[in-house]
Structure 1
Amino acid sequence: MFSTAASLPGFDSPIELLLACHDKVRHFAGLCSRLEQHAARHGADEEARAAAASVLRYFQLAAPLHHADEEEDLFPALRELDDAGLSASIDELDAEHEYLGELWCCVHPWLEAMSSGTSDPAPPELEAFSTLYPEHALREEREVYPAAVRLPHDRLAGIGQRMAQRRGARQGP
């Protein structure tokens, strides 16, 4: 019921890596919903505690890195394409990042409690968090990521290098 997704592509393929991160977003957002249902029936049992801990790990560690990859590297590079429609989409997605962060602040304490063995009722924001995060990822995939093919290869390579640096990963020889 609470399995994790497969491994990610390498930093030499930054867009594919970002897409794989979106698969994880969908997985962990869905896990939140299933966790709420599970906890309503079984409380904060071992399976619920483990699931809550894995959701916490993802959204505390990986999700902020993913947002930084977009906000600090990909989105600025795409803005340089000087495409008004693309820039408008990026502006909206940036605002969604802020809103998703606000939802996370509401969901986080419940997950912390659940991972510690306390089965409190889920916050009302959990449904929006579980629904809007995957919708946001899909919107990025449809409206913004396709424009990355217009970026020069060296620009994409630089984005991949910064993604690796952000995670403390070594790149190449």
Structure 2
Amino acid sequence: MKNLLLTATLLFAIHTFSQTQKGHPFFTGSISTTFGINQDHEWFDGNDDETFIEPKSVLIRTGIGYQFDKRWASSVNIGYDHHFSYAINSIPMYGSLRYNFVVNDSDAWFIEGSYGQMFRPSKRFSNGNYYKVGIGILGLSDNRWNGIVRIDFHRKKIAGFRNGNLDSVSLGIGFSFF
């Protein structure tokens, strides 16, 4: 009974808060990559066509959310990750909470935290938890499309993989559609 009462109170507070602050739903998407040092790069070979830094993964995300006011937003997301070096594929499903700590007429700087589950399409490693924290800038415009540039730290809990974690820092671009 207490859980039902707490849930009803929380939903009422969110509904009331969103009605008075003129919030709105949004759709978001992004593509990111992590970078690493190329092990095949040779410094002193003049004919080396290899670059020193190379992409190590591709991370694709999409989600739907609700902007409560000009500072707070929350979303539910799904993605696809492929790490080239380890041949690991995963499907993270997670919730995010974003806080815009600087809001101007043309942009908003934000921090975002995420938590959820990571599902593995193969049997090589088990499913696990997914964590993300990041910082970025959201370009605000008069139309409904807004660009995003972000840097994120990802932690994927994978039993049987090294120390049980696959950690990475990614650089990404994306959009938000209101």
Q: Report if TM-score (shorter chain) is over 0.5.
A: no
More strand by share: 2
Decide which structure has the larger Cα Rg and report it: 2
Greater relative CO, 1 or 2 (CA 8 Å, sep 6+): 1
What range is the shorter-chain TM-score in? under 0.3
